[in-house]
Amino acid sequence: MVNVGILGLGPTWETRYRPALQKLRSRIAIRAVYDLVANRAEQVAAEWNATAMGGAVALSERSDLAAFLMLGTGWHRWESLRLLCAKKKPVYIAGDLGTELETLHRLHNSAFAAGQTLMPELGLRYTPATSRLRELLATRLGNAHRIVIDAVTSGPADSTAVSVAEAETQFLIKLFDWCGYITQTLPVRLWARPLETPNESARQFRSITIEFHPRNSGPVYPRVEVRLSRRPDRDVASLAQGQTAVGLGELHQEIFCERGRAVIPAATEISWSAGGELTSESLSSERSEVEVMLDHFCRRVVGGLIPVADLSDVSRCAALVQAARQSLKSDCAVLVNGSV
């Protein structure tokens, strides 16, 4: 049993985290809860037989906690994360982390040196469809050499340009992480194509193509093409949260492999073909990505060696988003990771 403290409940506690933690109740014990809305923290603490804390500092100083779940901290996210990092205990980080590369690098290096687990929530890796795809790549399909993704990245008409751009950035960070997770190699170069618009100062993506290093020094450079579209009625707040409904639910992925092909139309669906045989699978009974991530985090807390994402993954993908915006502005391909 792992004793955890929750720092911030976030906007999706009821729909996203509470159900997953209920299923993991035999492994994860919530002992302390702090939220900016004190009444909400008290209600959740009462349900879980925990203590409602009066502040983030008081929560971080609890000696009986083995780890922290940072599920929602609002505008003071970095201050909260630095506070928890100072305690040298594992931290599960929900939501987005922005694009402050220097801060991400500094926190990652400090945590790495201390042997501290800081696990950002990169949920597209752990959806049922992605987990099944990884099994198929290892057994039936072989390595992925081309991926085509249709993605929706938009917000409501009354959102500010800044909020729309930030939501799109966080969406792309999670999506680029998924691409690297599937290709199992690092990017080489990237180029972005703009929508045709009369306003050149407000250019938007039409597509982003990423070329990756060949696997095992082979001749094939895996390539990912992300084709972007926008819907003005989408909820930017939920897009930034990276929920499943706005994760794979807003994506259509087609993966071309050495010995076949797979299509992921939703988080719990996959179709694949190998040797001329087409198979469609529904994975709605499998564990949600949140449950899987919390389970993996729990294993790391107790000393397991199961691999999990860290802040270097976030910073690498944030740098890719910056490179995409540079390419969009210059109309040129951009080299990444210092490679040709």
* Residue 221 and residue 188 in contact, taking contact as beta carbons nearer than 8 Å: yes
Sequence letter at residue 122: L
Six-digit token string for 327: 């390419």
Question: Can you say how many angstroms the Cα of residue 232 is from the centroid of all Cα atoms in its chain?
Answer: 23
Six-digit token string for 299: 């294993």
For the ranges 125-129, 170-174, 247-251, the lowest mean pLDDT is seen at 247-251
- H helix count then E strand count, the chain: 10, 15
Q: What is the pLDDT of residue 204?
A: 79
For the ranges 40-49, 111-120, 143-152, 213-222, the lowest mean pLDDT is seen at 213-222
Domain limits, the chain: 2-94, 124-285+308-335
* pLDDT over 60 at 3, yes or no: yes
CATH assignment of 124-285+308-335, among 3.30.360.10, 3.40.50.970, 3.40.50.1100, 3.90.1200.10:
3.30.360.10
Superfamily of domain 2-94: NAD(P)-binding Rossmann-like Domain (3.40.50.720)
248-299 per-position pLDDT tens digit: 338 999 999 999 999 999 999 999 999 888 999 999 999 999 999 999 999 9
DSSP 99: T
Please spell the DSSP secondary structure of 250-311, one letter per residue: GEEEEEEESSEEEEEEETTEEEEEETTEEEEEE-TTSPPHHHHHHHHHHHHHTT-------H
∠ Cα 161 325 315 (to 5°): 100
50-60 per-position pLDDT tens digit: 999 999 999 99
* pLDDT over 80 at 179, yes or no: yes
| 277 contacts: CB under 8 Å, gap ≥ 6 | none
pTM for the whole structure: 0.89
* pLDDT over 50 at 331, yes or no: yes
* pLDDT over 60 at 159, yes or no: no
Alpha-carbon span 84 to 70, nearest angstrom: 9
Alpha-carbon span 220 to 242, nearest angstrom: 31
